[in-house]
Structure 1
Amino acid sequence: MSAASQIPNKTLAVRGLTKRMGERVLWSGLNLEFLPGQMTALTGQSGCGKTTLLNVLGLLERPTGGVVTYGTRDLTDGSPRTRRLMHRNVMGFMFQNYALVEQWTVAQNLQLALRCVGVAASERRRLIRRALHVVHLDGYDKRLVYTLSGGEQQRVAIARIVIRSPRIVLADEPTAALDADNRAVVMHHLRRFADDGAIVIYTTHNEEDAADADRIIKL
């Protein structure tokens, strides 16, 4: 069992959240709650700040004003320790470019995620096999990432989340470069994360992807 799966479900919330980029205000005074077991789609025109909001929620960027909380903890206190613990124990990310090391094998990429949370080598192998089975990539552990298709790389990125069981899953345009079949696979797994009690938030331009959410927030 991962460290994250031992953490009770909590609500992720923002209060009075504001973000400026130079003289431009992307959004101001946002008050939102994201619940365990819920899929939320962030939609809106290009440049409206969807990815920026996702980055603020994931503690990759700081807001100009307002607070982000997880349960009773204020995440906008600027503490590197808070960010480190949340990234290690609570949050999982899916990026448009998959964020994989292309010259490494699939197993090496997945092992990196497990080493960060102190999982023993023998247990890593078991978790990697299980995660690859879940995403239908059995036997791919020794494949080099750069030899995989975009859909296969995104499934490796999903496997990276599966092995850690984070309580918050943040995905930036997770199906943007995928065909219909791989899109369906990604959305299926996002729903599974939510069904397992995770908070799932993703950005999208795709109306079908947005329709799969429990809630749509248009920026």
Structure 2
Amino acid sequence: MEHTRPLPTYLIQRFHGWRATTYQDNRAWYRRLAESGQHPRAMVISCCDSRVHVTSIFGADEGEFFIHRNVANLVPPYNPDGEYHGTSAAVEYAVTSLGVAHIVVLGHSNCGGVKGCHDMCTGHAPQLEEKTSFVGRWMDILRPGYEKVSGLPEDEILPALEKQAVLTSLENLMSFPFVAAAVEGERLTLHGLWTDTGEGGLEHYDPSRGGFVAV
């Protein structure tokens, strides 16, 4: 691979710092994880936005979460068409192989992917309408969510659409037969969360109230 280059110096320095401190202080734990395999309680599906740091939010250690990140924390509908489905594969592995007890979908404020969906649906992002746009075709998953909130005042649409991304993913998760069977068999529970990255707030979806409430 002639186009690859060595790591930047700052990343190498950070690695050596971690190796000399965190790893050395917990060497037995890391070796146990390596030898016994992973047994996470929960899968977290979050946005790949660099401001969303799942393990920091929940104070999690290595081995606790099976984490999958993608643009706008979306889960597509079940579609066994033989094509490439990274998110669907991660969900399948978490449920059928790891046997996680929880799947958490975590949305967040100021999500660029959600804004892209909004702009595309309102005709302000023609580049995302192109068939060759990976982001645009991925954000098609959220189009039904946009239709649900498009009638709100303009300043309320984006925050509402961020939460629709969570709800859309939860609905789509239940279209996977193995997810539905695990939920109905009480071996798996689904959870929807939204975090305010600037204020450090966290809300969860409460079906009894029909909306998101602070935890």
User: Given the two structures, how large is their TM-score scaled by the length of structure 1?
Assistant: 0.32
Looking at both structures, which has the greater relative contact order when contacts are Cα pairs under 8 Å and sequence separation is at least 6? Answer: 1
User: Given the two structures, how large is their TM-score scaled by the length of structure 2?
Assistant: 0.32
